[in-house]
Amino acid sequence: MNQANVTHLVSKLKFNIRPTPRRLKNKDGPPGRVLKIQKTLTALFEYERIELFYNRADEVRGYAERLISEAIRRGPEDHEMMDLANFWIIRKEFVHKLFKVYVPRYQDYSIAYTKLHKAPRLYPGIYYKRAVLELRGNPYPSIEQRNAHSNVLLHNLLLSEARKEYRMEKYKEIAESMNEREVTSQ
């Protein structure tokens, strides 16, 4: 069966997307859902790292990836691309930031443009999963710890010193109890 190669017509995203959209609850229905995604996308392009509920972060990640990949593929001269960017990004200064900052930054990327990190749940409070969605190459310090068990990290230094002190106290207790046994046995 002969089929045309259509892979060049749509840009391929660099991570897996759910086949069905997430159910983002909104009292306004589908227009409210779209507005929620627009606000979140605008905030992501403004701050480059945002913390929100996992469901919305995962859904918005797909929109951000698609928007950046289409902006790289088509460029700012394409009227359909500009209409798409103007629709999804509410504040227009971030449409310019998309083409002037993000497109050159991600031009040569072979991996996803965004990262999604699971964040701890708020306790006490709402028990929904939380996440941090960030654009790669942002100016903020990394969320990921490269080696959490490194001896040069402050909490590991403090724990190792506390462990040494505890062992020294136990060794002293053992030595004293052995001396008492020797004295009583003589």
- Contact, 129 vs 54, CB < 8 A? yes
Question: pLDDT class for 2, splitting at 50, 70, 90?
Answer: low
Same domain for 154 and 130, yes or no, is: no
Q: Is the residue at 159 inside a domain?
A: yes
Question: pTM here?
Answer: 0.72
Is the same domain home to 71 and 162? no
Domain total for the chain? Answer: 2
State the CATH number of the domain containing residue 69: 3.90.1030.10
Give yes or no: residues 37 and 124 share one domain.
yes
Task: Examine the domain organization and report whether 37 and 125 are in the same domain.
Answer: yes
Q: Are residues 38 and 101 in the same domain?
A: yes
- Least confident interval from 15-24, 108-117, 161-170: 15-24
Q: Are residues 38 and 107 in the same domain?
A: yes
Is residue 15, in this structure, part of any structural domain at all? no
Do 120 and 37 share a structural domain? Answer: yes
Tens of pLDDT along 25-70?
888 888 999 999 999 999 999 999 999 999 999 999 999 999 999 9
Average pLDDT over residues 136-154: 81
Q: What is the pLDDT of residues 79-105, one digit of tens each?
A: 999 999 999 999 999 999 999 999 999
Task: Indicate if 127 and 41 belong to the same structural domain.
Answer: yes
pLDDT (tens digit per residue) in 149-173: 777 778 888 898 999 999 999 999 9
The percent of residues above 70 in pLDDT, for the chain, comes to 91
Greater confidence (27 vs 3) lies with 27
Is residue 64 a part of any domain in this protein? Answer: yes
CA 173 from centroid of its chain's CA atoms: 49
Within 13 Å, how many C-alpha atoms sit on residue 169's CB side?
A: 6
pLDDT band, residue 9 (cuts 50/70/90): low
CA 29/CA 34 separation, integer angstroms: 9
**CB < 8 Å & 24+ apart, contacts of 37-43:** 37/63, 37/88, 38/87, 38/88, 38/89, 38/90, 39/90, 41/67, 41/88, 41/89, 42/89, 42/90, 42/91, 42/94
The reply to whether 2 falls in a domain is: no
Render the burial of 41-68: b for 16+ CB within 10 Å, e for the rest: bbbbbeebbbebebebbbbbbbbbbbbb
Tokens (6 digits) for 144: 């990921």
Amino acid 142: pLDDT: 85
Kindly report the length of the chain.
Answer: 186
Does residue 118 sit within a domain?
A: yes
Same domain for 185 and 127: no
Give the range of the structural domain holding residue 153, as residue numbers without chain letter: 145-186
Judge if 158 and 119 occupy the same domain.
no
Asked if residue 150 and residue 76 are part of one domain, the reply reads no
Please report whether residue 20 resides in a domain: no
Within this chain, do residues 129 and 149 fall inside the same structural domain, yes or no? no
Q: 44 in a domain, yes or no?
A: yes
Query: Measured in Å, how far apart are the chain's first and last C-alpha atoms?
Result: 98
